[in-house]
Amino acid sequence: MILTLTPNTAIDRVLILPRLIPNRTLRASAEDFSPTGKGVVAAVALADMGYAVTAMGFAAGIVGERLTQMVAAHGVCPRFNACEGETRVNVVIVGEADQSFTTITCESLRVTPTHEQALMQALEAALPSARCLVLGGSLPPGCSTSLYARAIALARRHQVFTILDASGDALRHALPAQPDWVKPNRDELAQIVQREVRDVAAAIAAAREVRARFGVNVLASLGEEGAVALTEQGVWRAWPVPVQPRNTAGAGDAMVGGLAAGLANQMPREETLRLSVAMATAAVLQLSTAGIDPADVARLRPLVRVERC
């Protein structure tokens, strides 16, 4: 079983427009609602692929109830802890003409130390049955910056692989806890090393620095340039399969799902990376932020080129 932990859950309302034009009344050509938060999106992708996955984290209010129902409809086992406030609703605006992508979000969950302790207790109870733990997304107001570090320590005690996919303070405070893997995108990788990451060579150099400083394996998602993975065994690069994207919001999270599946099932490194990129590519073909078509993954997976650098 794979576990995901998403402290700051949300629902995405995706609107498709020809383009985003200020000071105008615009009519969307399509609309979609999907559960989100990095770990939630990874969980949905895994469940769509047939893997057993449990999603944990915080959920609150009427929106939290709907989120729980939406996650369960994908085959995920939802075990969200209640807290105060309301689960967020993000507005995601996709411009078809220029492939622009705009997310409008507002914090609305409120977490107390009592809520956080209850979540940690629930996580510790679930870990003995898990093979991999995905920790994903931002931390809501009231949540301590040590939450991810504590979760990583618990997982290590139970010999469960950990994958961290976060940014900002959540990433900065969790890296010293040494998760097994970290999955930054280009901007997050640049944030860690405090310099621009302009190309694949710069990404590999930055990944080497991250591994040297924190002792973690790195899977860096680079958008149209694919992905690079770095471990103590070496460096691998995966090239993306060209597709016409509909919504790129969940691509990195689906990639994390592929990595979790590979670790949980002890796949060879090349096959893990190939699955991760195929799942990420399949994700951008969907209007929803969360969810993939296994048929797309099956079609794309043999087309993903992976080489050891």
26-46 residue pLDDT tens: 898 889 999 999 999 999 999
Can you tell me the mean pLDDT for 165-179?
95
Residue 123 confidence (pLDDT): 98
pLDDT greater than 90 at residue 275: yes
Region 198-225 average pLDDT = 96
253 is catalytic: yes
Task: Read off the pLDDT of each residue in 59-88 and give the average, rounded to a whole number.
Answer: 97
For residue 91, the model assigns a pLDDT of 92
Q: How confident is the model at residue 243, as a pLDDT?
A: 94
Residue 27: is it exposed, middle or buried by C-beta count within 10 angstroms (0-12/13-18/19+)? Answer: exposed
How many helices (H) and strands (E) are present in the chain, helices listed first? 10, 16
Tokens, residue 272: 């893990």
Average pLDDT over residues 165-171: 93
Q: Which one of 48, 165, 180, 253 is the catalytic residue?
A: 253
| Residue 247 binned pLDDT confidence (cut-offs 50, 70, 90) | confident
Domains defined along the chain, listed by start? 2-18+30-308 (3.40.1190.20)
Rounded distance between C-alpha atoms, residue 42 and residue 3, angstroms: 10
- 106 vs 73 pLDDT, higher one: 73
State what percent of residues in the chain have pLDDT above 90.
85
Buried b (16+ CB within 10 A) or exposed e, 199-225: ebebbbebbebbbeebebbbbbbbeeb
Lowest-confidence segment of 97-106, 175-184, 257-266 by average pLDDT: 97-106
Taking the model in full, what pTM does it have? 0.95
Per-residue pLDDT at 95 exceeds 90: no
Task: Tell me the pairing of strands 53-59 and 2-6.
Answer: parallel
Q: What is the pLDDT of residue 96?
A: 82
Distance CA 19, CA 13 (A): 17
Residue 199 above 90 pLDDT?
yes
Mean per-residue pLDDT for 57-64?
97
Give backbone dihedrals phi and psi of 218, rounded to 5 degrees, phi first: -125, 130
Average pLDDT over the chain, rounded to an integer: 95
Q: Per-residue pLDDT averaged across 130-152, rounded?
A: 96
